[in-house]
């Protein structure tokens, strides 16, 4: 199978695609990202790297950061995390507050905003926000093997200035006792992780441990146990695209986590770590062309957690 030309073809198709969705406009640094961008990076288990389009242009990874913060929080407190955050798809929008009332301040999963805010609270662990933020940045740099990855302070500041819903979610959970630190401190961590700026290549490199049973294939070092890597993948598959998660799983058959900056990190376990980016979003807030590109990649390679090897045999 010629992955390089599959990636080239998809990148060319996406560059020319007429329906690109709408760029997020809730903060100026996202609103001004050109809608014509498309990037794709596929890193194979043997380290081979295939790039297409704007694969080396950094963008705001936003909620994709929730995968890395979850990984860190599980490392810090282990399965005790699941007393404070659930593991069920929400079927609701990323910033919904509705379920929190009936479910007593316990968010459905770590990939909706409320869940990621609890995860950020765990990462604070009684320290200053700055040290938790530095820990997240250090972790992502180590995963990607790239010290140039940075946090865009203008994005973090704009998130803080406009994040009224996130303040509401955090305050509400604090009223249930599910936030241990002051709301402002926890959200400082959350807003900064969302403001991580990474390219598709950096993101796909950072996601390698999820395709490789928890190990960084470049260093051979264990990031998480094989079981934990599988479980993070399971959560990505079921909850990675908010109330669009079923649709994404149906179309791609791969675990994936989207961000409102238009990125998606997807994993073909044992085969490849994949990142795509196109800033135009569909009506559910997920990258329109990113999902389409992954659907085409899965169809042309046969990669799917439901079909571990071999080419695709049916289109139904
Ligand atoms: N920073 C965004 C928020 O909390 C993240 C949303 C997303 O990427 O889906 O509103």
* Same-domain pairing of 149 and 243: no
Last residue of a domain, one of 165, 196, 227: 196
> Is 242 designated active site?
yes
From residue 271, give the alpha-carbon distance in Å to each of 177, 261, 268, 307, 310.
42, 26, 5, 12, 11
Domain identity same for 91 and 169: yes
Beta-strand runs (E) in 127-166: 150-151
Residue 44: beta bridge partners?
Answer: 272
Q: The CATH number of the domain where 121 resides is what? A: 3.40.710.10
Quick check: CB of 259 below 6 Å from ligand 1?
A: yes
Q: Which of 168, 196, 224 is the last residue of a domain?
A: 196
At residue 314, the pLDDT reads: 42
Counting atoms of ligand 1 from 1, which one is nearest the CA of 63? 8
Quote the pLDDT of residue 308: 55
Strand partners, 256: 266
Cβ–ligand 1 distance for 260 under 6 Å, the answer yes
Q: State the pLDDT at residue 315.
A: 42
- Specify the pTM: 0.96
Structure tokens at 111: 């990939």
> Closest ligand 1 atom to the C-alpha of 194?
1
Query: Does residue 63 have an active-site annotation?
Result: yes
* Number of domains comprising the chain: 2
314, part of any domain: no
Same domain, 10 and 113: no
Same domain, 204 and 262: yes
Same-domain status, 285 and 206? yes
Residue 250 included in any domain: yes
**Domain-located, residue 241:** yes
**pLDDT at residue 312, rounded to an integer:** 46
Q: Is residue 312 part of a domain?
A: no
65 is catalytic: no
Whether residues 190 and 77 fall in one domain: yes
Residue that is last in its domain, among 149, 170, 196: 196
Atom of ligand 1 nearest to the CA of 259: 8
Spatial separation of the C-alpha atoms in residues 59 and 30, rounded to whole Å: 9
Domain ranges, residue 181: 63-196
Based on the fold, state whether residues 289 and 164 are members of the same structural domain.
no
Tens of pLDDT, residues 287-302: 999 999 999 999 999 9
Looking at the structure, do residues 216 and 285 belong to the same domain, yes or no? Answer: yes
Q: Is residue 190 part of a domain?
A: yes
Residue 83 and residue 147 in one domain: yes
pLDDT tens across the length of the chain (316 residues): 899 999 999 999 999 999 999 999 999 999 999 999 999 999 999 999 999 999 999 999 999 999 999 999 999 999 999 999 999 998 888 788 888 999 999 999 999 999 999 999 999 999 999 999 999 999 999 999 999 999 999 999 999 999 999 999 999 999 999 999 999 999 999 999 999 999 999 999 999 999 999 999 999 999 999 999 999 999 999 999 999 999 999 999 999 999 999 999 999 999 999 999 999 999 999 999 999 999 999 999 999 999 855 544 444 4
């Amino acid at each position: 199978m010629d992955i390089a030309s599959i990636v080239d073809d998809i990148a060319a198709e996406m560059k020319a695609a007429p329906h690109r969705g709408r760029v997020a406009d809730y903060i100026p640094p996202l609103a001004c990202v050109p809608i014509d961008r498309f990037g794709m990076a596929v890193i194979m288990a043997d380290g081979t790297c295939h790039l297409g389009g704007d694969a080396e242009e950094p963008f705001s990874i936003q909620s994709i950061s929730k995968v890395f913060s979850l990984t860190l929080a599980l490392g810090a407190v282990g399965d005790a995390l699941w007393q404070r955050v659930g593991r069920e798809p929400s079927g609701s929008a990323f910033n919904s507050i509705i379920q929190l009332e009936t479910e007593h301040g316990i968010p459905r999963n770590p990939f909706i905003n409320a869940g990621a805010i609890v995860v950020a609270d765990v990462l604070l662990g009684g320290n200053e926000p700055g040290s938790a933020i530095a820990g997240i940045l250090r972790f992502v740099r180590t995963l990607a093997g790239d010290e140039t990855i940075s946090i865009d302070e203008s994005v973090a500041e704009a998130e803080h200035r406009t994040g009224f819903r996130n303040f509401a979610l955090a305050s509400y959970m604090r009223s249930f006792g599910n936030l241990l630190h002051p709301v402002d401190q926890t959200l400082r961590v959350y807003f900064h992780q969302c403001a991580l700026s990474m390219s598709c290549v950096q993101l796909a490199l950072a996601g390698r441990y999820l395709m490789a049973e928890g190990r960084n294939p470049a260093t051979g070092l264990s990031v998480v146990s094989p079981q934990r890597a599988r479980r993070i993948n399971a959560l990505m598959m079921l909850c990675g695209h908010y109330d669009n998660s079923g649709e994404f799983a149906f179309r791609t058959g791969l675990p994936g986590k989207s961000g409102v900056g238009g990125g998606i990190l997807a994993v073909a376990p044992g085969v490849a770590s994949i990142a795509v980016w196109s800033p135009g979003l569909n009506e559910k807030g997920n990258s329109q062309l990113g999902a389409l590109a992954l659907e085409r990649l899965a169809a042309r390679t046969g990669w799917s957690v439901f079909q571990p090897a071999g080419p695709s045999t049916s289109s139904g």
